[in-house]
Amino acid sequence: MNANALDAVAPLLSVSGLSKHYGGVRAIDELEFSLPRGAVLGIIGPNGAGKSTLIGLLGGALRPTAGRIQFNGADVTRWPAAERARLGIGRTYQIPRPFLDLSVRENLLAGQYALQPLIARRQAIAASTAILERTGLADAADLPARALPLLRRKRLEVARALALRPRLLLLDEVGAGLVDSEVGELITLIKALARELEGLIIIEHVLRVVRECCAQLMVVNFGRKLAEGPTAEVLASEQVAAVYLGTAHGGGAPSAAPAAAVSGLTSLVAAEIPQRAASAVALLELREVHAGYGLARVLNGVSLTVRAGQAVAILGTNGAGKTTLAGVISGLIRPTAGALYIDGIDRTGTAAHVIARLGLAQCMEGRRIFAPLSVEENLLLAAGAVRKLESQRRLDQVYQLFPVLRERRSQGGTSMSGGQQQMLAIGRALMSRPRLIVFDEISLGLAPLVMDQLYAALAALRDAGLTLLIVEQDVQRALDLADEVHVMEHGRIALSGTAAQVRENPVLRHLYIGTAD
Amino acid sequence: MLILFAALALLSGWAGDYVLELAFRVLVLMTLAEAWNLLAGYGGLVSLGTASFVGIGAYVLVGAMNRGLPLALAWAGAGLASAVLALLVSRAVFRLRGLYFTVGTLALAEALRLFMVNYQPLGGAIGLFLNPDAPGLRGLFLLALGLFAAATLLMQLATSSRYSILLRAVRDDEDAAAQMGVRPFRIKLLAFIVASVLMGLAGALQGLKLGAVEPYGMFGLQWTVSVLAIVIIGGQGQRLAAVIGALFVVALGELLANYPAVHLAITGLILILVIRFAPQGLAGLSTRVWRRVRGAVPT
């Protein structure tokens, strides 16, 4: 048997006894698996299961506490990240880390020049152009990466990893936040890559991607392997439903915790009108608002009314202007035309901190937790200058709503899993005892079970009288929660109505819900 | 560019002593600023160790010439010694990142200064005197001009080549760069050595001109601080930062030469204003104004 034949038999990647401990916390614990040549392996698991740690260990960013990683027959356990990349292991970051002050194309060239310092310039440019076209970034090639919004940065993560011409590609939640048609594009790309590359590992919460792209699926929980096998079988197992999928997919899941807390939420919710019947007072009103960045027009005349006690959802594809709208409401983005009224008073152009003081809080896209502060400090900071007794009372109620935050109170804010950070972000918005909270994409990148918990908490807050404005990608969950729904398209509101009306509208079904689930 | 340098060299024949004096100072500061800009502006390596390399360069040059070596060899030795020092400390200082790197280089400079003050064989606090004759003022000016031309050429290479993409990638995110197959240590080391050699050569010229070197002057913090001020006022990571910043700072110094206290206060004030209102320095500011004048979209 010659070396080539041996190559074909040995798995591309094999991991044995892999562990990573942080102090007493076992992020990855005795993990064992292998990836045959040409295979696509999906990895799912609850937030905080250790999936991103695993990617870090495979890519070389983290050193394992114990265990062995073999790539292509070589033991790479102790190899630094750069050497593994040169061997052909490419990875993406779940939270994109582009080279901010390089152009999008230079982000790709960095990898190409690092591997082939003497490659002809024209060849490198052509290769980068091809990758940018494939990943839908061709129009942004000369923009600084800093100018890209979150979801395009995710595309850049994929593009940059491809610039390495990897043999094995590790994709960490690249599908988060995409609408159905974009998920379709992503699946097409992944399937094409699966034919070109020697192996793919996909960590993903968007189940459609997992279902359509991965033949094999591994479920990770508490750093250990919970299940492994053909994707359909694994997804159908009851054990997986219990720890991961939650109610939306048929498994029985706990949703009781927030309901029990409803009675005690009065310290967090400044509702003058306790019953949910929409009052005559327009808490927030936008009239023909136009806004944008430089020459890019994002909002083209949006009118919107939110009454006290209402739950209003804004739906729409990426790039429809949802996040910009949230920015206008918070006072971070100044509209170029139109007006913003709060309690019937014109507040157009009022500074963000003044608007916050009027009782409008934000739960921003991307969470924006203060990393150097502990969980409790993050929360207390948001309470502002209230008496200690009062802030303590609010703190207790946030902990009641999200008990896990109490357990992690002295931990660093960003050391928690994605779902817990999102809970912290919501808790922080609540600490100022607002009348209205704008929730911007809170379900982005979360496991279905965690989304259930978050939405149960939102329902409890709604029932306690808080006014909610939800900007959301997850149509189904938003429709379940909201009284009134607006669908945005190209910077204006294309469709409005009650949740029931919108649900029945065939246009929406076609555009955003699709038929996959 | 070349023509400009040649013209300057020719014109220097008619220049008076004051002009040559001033031009020499500007050129040395520009060279140091170019080197520091390569490190901090393009490489993200904010170093407070400029004085270490200025001092080493000056001491090596004076020491070597006193032992009878010709100027050319002594000068080359100064550059080489700086490169060796950079190589020796690189393992230690690159283990530190961000602010810690900055503090590490400051510690290096201070440690070297204290060592020189107390080490008698190199003259201790008194320092060394240059025994052979130094070239005249015009000669010194031409040497400085040549050095600055070399620095400009090197910077042109380092900032427009594929190496600059790798260096800026490491600056923006070292870990992500490593995941892309970039070897951050080598990339940073190259920038560090190039900058250190330039600093050493500039320091050597300064030593040659003074005819005497002593630790408080050559290893003093004022080198580090004035170079930092020049680049920040000029514009970190901007190609013209060193030239604009050095001209500005030296011109300001000359205008306020009779009011040293006012000079310091005004320099400080300008630094604060630039950091607050023009984070890309005067170079960045003028590009922005220029674009606006031409009616293009400000970025």
Stretch A200-206: mean pLDDT? 89
* A-chain residues near B166 (CB < 8 A): 110, 113-114
* A-chain residues near B171 (CB < 8 A): 101
Q: A216 and A12 in contact (C-beta within 8 Å)? A: no
Residues A351, B279: Cα–Cα separation, whole Å: 23
Q: Please state which CATH number belongs to domain A257-371+432-513.
A: 3.40.50.300
Report CB contact under 8 Å: A114, B180: yes
What is the tens place of the pLDDT at every residue in A64-95? 999 999 998 899 999 999 999 999 999 998 88
What pairs with residue A342 in β-bridges?
A: A284, A345
Question: Residue B53 — pLDDT band, cuts 50, 70, 90?
Answer: very high
Is beta strand A199-203 parallel, antiparallel or unpaired with respect to A168-172? parallel
- Give kind and range of the element (H or E) at residue B108: helix B99-118
Of A60, A97, A295, the CB nearest to B176: A97
What are the C-alpha distances in Å from A267 to residues A262, A359, A422, A425, B244?
A: 11, 14, 21, 17, 58
pLDDT value of position A251: 35
Q: Cα–Cα–Cα angle for A221, A223, A224, nearest 5°?
A: 70
Q: Chain A closest CA to B41's CA: distance in Å?
A: 12
Could you count the other beta carbons within 10 Å of the beta carbon of residue A482? 24
Q: Tell me if chain A has a CB within 8 Å of the CB of B158.
A: no
* A-chain residues near B178 (CB < 8 A): 60-61, 80-82, 85
Q: B227 and B36 in contact (C-beta within 8 Å)? A: yes
* B-chain residues near A82 (CB < 8 A): 177-179, 181-184
Q: Which residue of B has its CA nearest to A164?
A: B180
Residues A45, A55: Cα–Cα separation, whole Å: 13
In the numeric block, which tokens belong to residue B279? 């984070």
Question: Residue B194 — pLDDT band, cuts 50, 70, 90?
Answer: very high
Stretch A257-277: mean pLDDT? 52
Test the B interface: residue of A55, A102, A156, A171 with most B CBs within 10 Å? A102
DSSP letter, residue B297: P
Residues whose CB is less than 8 angstroms from the CB of residue B4 and which lie 6 or more positions away in sequence, other chains included: none
Q: Chain B closest CA to A120's CA: distance in Å?
A: 11
Average pLDDT, chain A: 82
Which range, of A237-241, A259-263, B114-118, B130-134, averages the lowest pLDDT? A259-263
Pick from A47, A103, A37, A48: which is nearest to A73 by CA? A37
Residues whose CB is less than 8 angstroms from the CB of residue A352 and which lie 6 or more positions away in sequence, other chains included: A330, A331, A332
pLDDT value of position A266: 62
**A246 has pLDDT over 80:** no
pLDDT value of position A67: 92
The CATH homologous superfamily for domain A3-245 is P-loop containing nucleotide triphosphate hydrolases (3.40.50.300)
pLDDT value of position B197: 96
Interface of A with B (CB under 8 A): 59-61, 80-82, 85-86, 90-91, 93, 97-102, 106-107, 109-111, 113-115, 117, 121, 160, 163-164, 294-295
3-state SS, residue B190: helix
What is the tens place of the pLDDT at every residue in B224-249? 988 999 999 998 888 888 999 999 98
In the numeric block, which tokens belong to residue A190? 């992944």
Stretch A379-391: mean pLDDT? 82
Report CB contact under 8 Å: A101, B173: no
* B-chain residues near A93 (CB < 8 A): 176
Q: Chain B closest CA to A182's CA: distance in Å?
A: 26
For chain A, give every domain's residue range: 3-245, 257-371+432-513
**A496 has pLDDT over 50:** yes
What is the tens place of the pLDDT at every residue in A8-52? 568 899 999 999 987 667 788 899 999 999 999 999 887 778 888
Residues B248, B181: Cα–Cα separation, whole Å: 41
pLDDT value of position A296: 66
Structure ipTM: 0.82
Question: Residue A509 — pLDDT band, cuts 50, 70, 90?
Answer: low
- Tell me how far the alpha carbon of residue A328 is from its chain's centroid: 22
**A256 has pLDDT over 60:** no
Stretch A461-465: mean pLDDT? 86
Question: Residue B207 — pLDDT band, cuts 50, 70, 90?
Answer: very high
- Tell me how far the alpha carbon of residue A509 is from its chain's centroid: 23
Q: Which of residues 214-273 of B touch A (CB under 8 A)?
A: 237
Stretch A206-222: mean pLDDT? 89
- Tell me how far the alpha carbon of residue A351 is from its chain's centroid: 28
Which range, of A269-273, A464-468, A471-475, B15-19, averages the lowest pLDDT? A269-273
Edge-to-edge order in the sheet of strand A66-71? A25-35, A13-22, A66-71, A74-75
Pick from A292, A290, A293, A318: which is nearest to A302 by CA? A290
- Please provide the DSSP assignment of A167-200 as one string: SEEEEESTTTT--HHHHHHHHHHHHHHHHHSSEE
Residues whose CB is less than 8 angstroms from the CB of residue B89 and which lie 6 or more positions away in sequence, other chains included: B108
Which range, of A67-81, A192-206, A257-271, A328-342, averages the lowest pLDDT? A257-271
Q: Which of residues 161-220 of B touch A (CB under 8 A)?
A: 162, 165-166, 168-169, 171-173, 175-184
Answer whether A3-245 and A257-371+432-513 agree in fold. Answer: yes
3-state SS, residue A340: strand
Stretch A380-401: mean pLDDT? 84
Size of interface A-B (CB pairs under 8 A): 80
* B-chain residues near A110 (CB < 8 A): 165-166, 169, 177, 180, 182
